[in-house]
Structure 1
Amino acid sequence: MKYAYDLHIHSVLSPCGDVLMTPNNIFNMASLKQLNIISVTDHNSLKQIPVCYELSKSYDFLFIPGVEITVKEGFDVLCYFKHIEEAMQFDHILETYLPKQTYDTDYYGEQWMCNIDDEVVEMYPYLLATPLELGIENLIDVLKPFDYILIYAHMDKKSRSGLAYTQSYPLDGFEYRNPDLKKHNNDLYNSDAHQIIDILEVGQPNQIELDTLSIEAFFRYFGHD
């Protein structure tokens, strides 16, 4: 059966995320747009994921824990986890590679963490949208103990695309912002939404065929048992 997805959505934790990208707003908009699968993928952090996971229990669609990682080489990859516990274990590891760089919030924007009622409970102090001290080869090594899927992000973007590395480091698939560039089953078409209206609606380019609407089926689709 085919299921509509958007697997690249930024919350208010990302410095570039609009103030309306709170967990409840994201989930409500995804529901209004009749999506079946979503992932919140903030820059270099999964700290908003536990709240999103709790919210997902009140919705019929599948929520996949995710993150957008900027590796040392300067390009982005999307990482999805099968288990919430492993996602949060990885978040602790990821933070050790983040440069502790304070930043101008007027220029970059705030980095908010919300509770389940969308109340701001903390401001993350270090800029998340910056390359980690972690290269792609080392990232793959660090991820080995986890059940994960790793995708090259926005391959049709002029900056922060890993096009030059795909032969040396084959990952699980490619993401495109232009659906016409999709060539393989494992290619994704996502919104990379930073504003609530940009979250995708149901449409042919953002559908995936799974045997069941489950995280296990999603991982099987990408060749992971």
Structure 2
Amino acid sequence: MAKRVKLRKGQPTLRPVRADLHIHTVLSACADYRMAPPLIVRTALQRGLDLIAITDHNSGENAGAVLRAAEGTGLTVLPGMELCTREEVHLVALFPELISLLCWQEEVYEALPHLANDEAVFGVQLVVDEQGRFLGKNHRFLFAATDLSLEEAVRRITEIGGFCFPAHVDRPAFGLLTQLGFLPQDVDLPAVEISPRISCQAARERFPSLGSRVIIQASDAHRLEDIGLGMTVFSMAEPSFEELILASVGRDGRGVLGYGQLPGGQDLV
């Protein structure tokens, strides 16, 4: 485990922060029925995580429930969403507070096709409270591609005060590099996400276009068993949205220390 890093006078002490920034709940039809707020929080704590993000498909309706479930536990939860753009690229969008996510959600709902979810084919999309109690269903077809282009989505997320990065760029399905074949130079993407299926070094070798961008590894967990299997160990002053922004661009001593997690809690660098 990396040691605490002390910066010059006036700067905060940095420490390792274990983060899994791509986790689904029962709102995602493809997620396991156990992906309820209290179980997600408990599992994240058991895995030694300090920071997680809730990123359901094209919706943030369960993010607040997970934030409330984590209150007083020491786990920081960022409200977020996994957006599907017009190009069918998955984009993780994270926000500093729930209200910003809900504002973004309104725009996403407007950009979704007016289709109902076919529960017999895709599964149910459940809205729950912080204890995992059933509140209702989302009947929109949330797995659909929106009418938002990648460029437009990145611009709007940034304007609202959020931060985003392309999800699982190494995967053939919905990954930016497989969908577009390149990283757009006119879109501000300082960081990208890889899945647990590939190491950071292998990703840089396989995709030279990543250049010096910060690589974030996340689980894209749809089951409790997957939470923390892909994670990033950041150097931060604290687990917060503001510190994540600094670490994701390698600013003020923040950055990435390592990836993954072994059974003994060791970092897999």
TM-score > 0.5, shorter chain as reference: yes
Given the alignment of the two structures, is residue 4 of structure 1 paired with residue 4 of structure 2, yes or no?
A: no
Deviation above 3 Å: which 4+ runs of structure 1? 180-185
Contact 1:48-1:114 within 8 A present in 2 as well:
yes
Aligned position for 2:193: 175
Given the alignment of the two structures, is residue 31 of structure 1 paired with residue 48 of structure 2, yes or no?
A: no
Name the stretch that deviates more: 82-91 or 121-130: 82-91
TM-aligned CA deviation for residue 137 of structure 1: 1.8
Matches of 1:41 and 1:160, distance apart in 2: 15
Q: Which among 167, 174, 183 is matched to residue 166 of structure 1?
A: 183
May I ask how many residue pairs the two structures share in their alignment? 223
Q: Secondary structure at the match of 2:159?
A: coil
Aligned position for 1:94: 108
In terms of Rg, which structure is larger?
Answer: 2
> In 2 relative to 1, CA 133–5 (structure 1 residues): closer, same or farther, beyond 3 Å?
same
1:86-140 Cα distance to aligned partner (Å, 9 max, x none): 1111111211111121232122111000012211111000111110011112213
**What fraction of aligned residue pairs are identical, expressed as a percent?**
22
Structure 2: runs of 5 or more not aligned:
1-14, 205-211, 253-269
Q: Which among 225, 234, 241 is matched to residue 197 of structure 1?
A: 225
Q: Which among 93, 114, 124 is matched to residue 138 of structure 2?
A: 124
Matches of 1:28 and 1:175, distance apart in 2: 24
Q: TM-score under structure 1 normalisation? A: 0.91
Letter in 2 for 1:159: A
Matches of 1:125 and 1:200, distance apart in 2: 30
Q: Secondary structure at the match of 1:102?
A: coil
Q: Which protein, 1 or 2, shows the higher relative CO under an 8 Å CA cutoff with sep ≥ 6?
A: 1
Aligned position for 2:160: 146
Name the stretch that deviates more: 214-223 or 48-57: 214-223
Q: Secondary structure at the match of 1:67?
A: strand
Aligned position for 1:215: 241
Q: Which among 54, 62, 66 is matched to residue 80 of structure 2?
A: 66
Contact 1:77-1:153 within 8 A present in 2 as well:
yes
Contact 1:11-1:17 within 8 A present in 2 as well:
yes
Contact 2:127-2:136 within 8 A present in 1 as well:
yes
Q: Secondary structure at the match of 2:214?
A: coil
TM-aligned CA deviation for residue 79 of structure 1: 0.8
Contact 2:157-2:164 within 8 A present in 1 as well:
no
Matches of 1:49 and 1:66, distance apart in 2: 7
Give the CA RMSD over aligned residues: 2.0
Matches of 2:141 and 2:73, distance apart in 1: 32
TM-aligned CA deviation for residue 14 of structure 1: 0.4
> In 2 relative to 1, CA 161–185 (structure 1 residues): closer, same or farther, beyond 3 Å?
closer
